Chains A and B, each alone.
Chain A
């Protein structure tokens, strides 16, 4: 029984570790993307060496904030 609890504890710790390692953090390379926008096609790479980018994810247009 002890073994079962122990292995369950280890498994859950591993899962927490895995989910944390997927989250982007300061210092990480920003994932490259391209998409259509109100000003045409946007590629993150196009700003490389030119300007910083503030990338703001929000829920939907015409909603508060």
Chain B
């Protein structure tokens, strides 16, 4: 999540909202956010309900403004790939 913070301005500049999500509760998320100065929201999916709707494991989705999945990456997300994919979306008329 620290890597997203590093590039947060770039994501925001491309009109993209970063959301982190794990089964940690809001309190733990807040401590984590304070420690690493994370300015984007971390969602507390304590019951794993949201995870169940998506997929198991370390996985990141790019969802466009219309709610359509445009890019999926498993493993540690690479910001460069996401920024490139978002740029492509922004160029679309």
List A residues at the B interface (Cβ < 8 Å). Answer: 23-33, 35-40, 42, 44-45, 47-62, 65
Contacts and interface: CB of A to CB of B under 8 A. Distances in A.
Given A30-B67, A30-B69, A38-B42, A58 B21 contact: yes
Q: Describe B's contact surface by its main secondary structure.
A: mixed
Interface residues of B, number: 55
Q: Describe A's contact surface by its main secondary structure.
A: loop
Contact of B18 (A27, A31, A56, A65): A56
Ranked 5 nearest A-B pairs via Cβ? A61-B32, A31-B53, A37-B41, A39-B41, A52-B16
Nearest to B3: A65
Given A24-B55, A60-B23, A37 B65 contact: no
Given A31-B53, A38-B38, A58-B20, 17 more contacts: A26-B69, A26-B70, A27-B69, A29-B68, A29-B69, A35-B50, A38-B26, A38-B29, A38-B33, A50-B65, A52-B70, A52-B89, A53-B61, A54-B16, A54-B86, A56-B19, A61-B32
Contact of B54 (A57, A58, A61): A57
Contact of B82 (A29, A54, A57, A61): A54
Given A37-B44, A52-B14, A54-B17, A59 B58 contact: yes
